Amino acid sequence: MQGLSQRFTWLLLCGCLVMTGCASTSGGNPLDPFEATNRRIDAFNDSVDQAVLRPVAKTYFDYTPTLLQTTVQNFFGNLRDVWSVVNNGLQLKPKETVETGMRVAVNSVIGLYGLMDVGTPLGLQKHPADFGQTLGYWGMPAGPYVVLPLMGPSTVRDTAALLVDRQGDPWGYINPVASRNQGSVLRLVDKRAQFLGFDDRLNEMVLDKYSFVRDAYLQKRRAQVRRGPPPDSEDEQENFDRPDKNISNK
């Protein structure tokens, strides 16, 4: 599975490069030169989600005990925290690294392999970080927006970083492979279940889901790779309600 998913990611990466070759940037969004392809993949993802993932996640959410769901989230969340520690370290963020590290230690030992989240009540908060964020933090541009089959919004940089993220995922080293795959499915279903209320709301509040999700993803990633605390005027907020910046509308 490890090998397979790695090859899959490589394939995606090559796909991105091929697309870069034949991209036509006529009048579209400069951040999204592959918009036509992306929209097709997005539609494909949506139909898979509607046909398979969402119904399974809904059943899981409705029919399994909440305690079990919390335990599953705690367990995989703890595994993810391990990789966040490494990436916070790579970004030389002492507070985030130490806090997440202590979280992992406490949850793994006292929380029985992360099944219980003892860290949060102790005030140890998560500081999620991945390798794409680390690359961005050190100045690597995100590159064009891409929608990955079955995996959703990404950028060329973040897609390349997925290769490393996979190596840093402790679950990828679980043997036997059959248990690992079963666990990965559970992880995916649980993840999807957490967004069940959210996707309906999203559909209600947007006119074009594709561009809304794209803009939100890019904005969010930019905020995540920003160095230091966010500036109070990160982008100039032009007041379109005024004819001119210096004239009050009152």
- Nearest distance in Å: CB 68, another protein: 17
Cα–Cα distance, 57 to 37 (Å, whole number): 27
236 near another protein, rule: CB under 8 A? no
The candidate with the shortest Cα–Cα distance to 157, out of 176, 130, 195, 184, is 130
243 near another protein, rule: CB under 8 A? yes
The candidate with the shortest Cα–Cα distance to 162, out of 134, 135, 132, 184, is 132
Which residue of 37, 69, 184, 211 would you call a contact of another protein, by CB under 8 A? 211
- Nearest distance in Å: CB 83, another protein: 15
Letter string b/e over residues 63-73, b meaning 16 or more CB atoms within 10 A of that residue's CB: eeeeeebebbb
Residue window 25-54: x/- pattern of binding to another protein, with contact defined by CB under 8 A: ----x-------------------------
Residues 6+ apart with CB under 8 A from 235: none
219 near another protein, rule: CB under 8 A? yes
The piece of 7-15, 132-140, 161-169, 213-221 that touches another protein (CB under 8 A) is: 213-221
What DSSP letter does each residue of 99-165 carry, written as one string?
HHHHHHHHHHHTTTTTTS--TTTTT-------HHHHHHHTT----SEEEETTTEEEEHHHHHHHHHH
**Cα dihedral across residues 11, 16, 17, 21: positive or negative:** positive
Site for another protein in 55-74 (CB under 8 A): 73-74
233 near another protein, rule: CB under 8 A? yes
The candidate with the shortest Cα–Cα distance to 76, out of 250, 193, 245, is 193
223 near another protein, rule: CB under 8 A? yes
Residue 235, token pair as written in the block: 């982008």
94 alpha-carbon distance from chain centroid: 23
205 near another protein, rule: CB under 8 A? yes
Site for another protein in 120-159 (CB under 8 A): 120, 125-126, 128
- Nearest distance in Å: CB 117, another protein: 6
The piece of 60-68, 85-93, 137-145, 199-207 that touches another protein (CB under 8 A) is: 199-207
Which residue of 99, 117, 158, 165 would you call a contact of another protein, by CB under 8 A? 117
Cα–Cα distance, 171 to 173 (Å, whole number): 5
204 near another protein, rule: CB under 8 A? yes
Residues that bind another protein (CB under 8 A): 29, 73-74, 77, 117, 119-120, 125-126, 128, 197, 201, 204-208, 211-212, 215-216, 219-220, 222-224, 232-233, 235, 237-241, 243
